[in-house]
């Protein structure tokens, strides 16, 4: 069995970069270290493909050829180029982002106020918390049959699943943030004569924002994972549908290409959420490394 040499060369170069990265400045490390790690991953991917090449012998001619059972990084890039060329990649990426934006946005619009209300009002917490704790552990995937029954194989089904997956982490993070506020803050505000709604506006809400943003970041990651399962079953477009359709056609290069796009978009979405942590109103609540 023959193996290509470039995976070993790539690993050697990346390992040397990682070992020597301590002499680089911090800004250079932020670029060099992720690239070196990505190079090692691609080299391991290529080496794994080489291991999975099976020899196929032609009984008539006696020739032997290698049968590839998994796409290489280069084959995945080629398939990504085809998807970009025919517009499939852009069209289905926009469809996935649209569903996540609507479902996650609705969850944030409802989950944050309700969560803050639960944290601020003892009666509301006692009334709603048992229901929240009963529904929160249910996997969003379990809601797929109900989503299809209610909304059919439409965008609304996927949006509903994203909403269900996102709202409970957001609500939990919001009321936990209120409960975590030191009571001395509230007592001090009341001693200065602030009314109940003023205490909530000027003390409770600003103090809760850092943890609320963390819960939003966590919920967005869950939503981006759930959209794949939702599109595999509940709709007929989006990157999740691309994976299912390509798998049925044994086009695993397209499967890997769609997975790569999901990963890149996940990084972009998480980067966008992390930018909220740099706002002056919430920056005090985060450490330097996040």
pLDDT digits (tens, 9 = 90+) for 202-238: 788 888 888 899 899 999 999 998 988 888 887 778 8
Q: How far apart are the first and last CA of the chain?
A: 45
Residue with tokens 């290509």: 4
Is 114 strand, coil or helix? helix
Min mean pLDDT across 9-23, 56-70, 84-98 is at: 56-70
Quick check: 239 and 228 in contact, CB under 8 A?
yes
Structure tokens at 262: 């999901």
Q: What is the pLDDT of residue 28?
A: 64
Residue 289 pLDDT > 50, yes or no? no
pLDDT at 171 over 80: yes
In which band, very low, low, confident or very high, does the pLDDT at 170 lie, cut at 50, 70 and 90? very high
In this prediction, residue 181 has a pLDDT band, given cuts at 50, 70 and 90, of confident
Reading the block at residue 84, the tokens are 């970009």
Whether 1 has a pLDDT exceeding 50, the answer reads no
CB atoms within 10 A of CB 159: 25
Neighbouring residues of 148: CB distance < 8 A, sequence distance ≥ 6: 157, 233, 234
The answer to whether residue 27 scores a pLDDT higher than 70 is: no
User: For residue 33, which of 12, 47, 46, 19 has the smallest C-alpha distance?
Assistant: 19
Between 11 and 272, name the one with better pLDDT.
Answer: 272
Tokens 């794994």: give the residue.
Answer: 48
What integer is the mean pLDDT of 176-184? 84
Q: How far apart are CA 70 and CA 68, in angstroms?
A: 6
pLDDT at site 66? 47
Would you state the pLDDT for residue 40?
A: 79
Residue 54 main-chain phi, psi, to 5 deg: -100, 140
Is the pLDDT assigned to residue 263 strictly greater than 70?
Answer: yes
Q: How confident is the model at residue 11 (pLDDT cuts 50, 70, 90)?
A: low
The CATH number of 76-285, from 3.90.1200.10, 3.30.70.1350, 1.10.3720.10, 3.30.365.10, is 1.10.3720.10
pLDDT reported for residue 25: 60
- What is residue 61's predicted lDDT score, i.e. its pLDDT? 53
Secondary structure (3-state) at 250: coil
Share of the chain above pLDDT 90, in %: 25
Task: Break the chain down into helix, strand, coil percent, rounded to 5.
Answer: 80, 5, 20
264-268-273-276 Cα dihedral, nearest 10 degrees: 160
% residues pLDDT > 70 (the chain): 79
Q: 64 versus 106: which is more confidently predicted?
A: 106
Chain center to CA of 26? 26
Q: For the chain, give the mean pLDDT.
A: 80
Dihedral, CA of residue 227, residue 228, residue 229 and residue 230, to nearest 10:
40
Residues 175, 269, 266, 270, CA torsion sign:
negative
What is d(CA 106, CA 32) in angstroms, rounded to the nearest whole number? Answer: 38
Length of the chain equals 290
Residue among 181, 182, 146 nearest 164 (CA): 146
**Cβ 207 vs Cβ 147: under 8 Å:** no
d(CA 118, CA 126): 8
Compare 268 and 71 and report the one with higher pLDDT: 268
Residue 287 has pLDDT above 80, yes or no: no
For the stretch 37-67, pLDDT in tens is 788 788 878 777 766 655 545 555 545 444 5
- Asked if pLDDT for residue 164 goes beyond 90, the answer is yes
């Amino acid at each position: 069995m023959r193996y290509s040499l470039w995976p070993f060369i790539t690993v050697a170069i990346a390992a040397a970069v990682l070992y020597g990265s301590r002499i680089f400045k911090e800004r250079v490390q932020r670029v060099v270290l992720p690239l070196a790690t990505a190079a090692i991953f691609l080299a391991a991917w290529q080496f794994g493909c080489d291991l999975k090449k099976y020899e196929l012998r032609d009984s008539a001619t006696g020739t032997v050829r290698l049968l590839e059972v998994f796409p290489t990084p280069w084959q995945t890039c080629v398939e990504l180029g085809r998807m970009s060329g025919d517009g499939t990649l852009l069209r289905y990426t926009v469809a996935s982002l649209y569903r996540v934006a609507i479902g996650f946005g609705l969850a944030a619009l409802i989950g944050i106020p309700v969560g803050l209300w639960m944290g601020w009002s003892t009666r509301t917490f006692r009334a709603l918390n048992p229901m929240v704790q009963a529904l929160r552990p249910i996997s969003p995937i379990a809601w797929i049959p109900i989503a299809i029954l209610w909304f059919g194989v439409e965008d609304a089904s996927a949006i509903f699943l994203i909403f269900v997956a996102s709202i409970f982490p957001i609500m939990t993070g919001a009321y936990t943030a209120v409960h975590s506020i030191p009571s001395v803050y509230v007592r001090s505000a009341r001693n200065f004569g602030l009314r109940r709604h003023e205490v909530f506006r000027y003390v409770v809400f600003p103090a809760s924002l850092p943890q609320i943003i963390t819960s939003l970041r966590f919920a967005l990651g869950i939503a981006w994972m759930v959209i794949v399962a939702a599109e595999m079953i509940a709709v007929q477009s989006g990157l999740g549908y691309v994976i299912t359709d390509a798998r049925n056609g044994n086009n695993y290069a397209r499967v890997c290409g769609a997975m790569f796009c999901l990963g890149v978009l996940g990084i972009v979405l998480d980067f966008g959420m992390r930018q909220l942590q740099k706002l002056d109103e919430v920056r005090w609540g985060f450490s330097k490394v996040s």
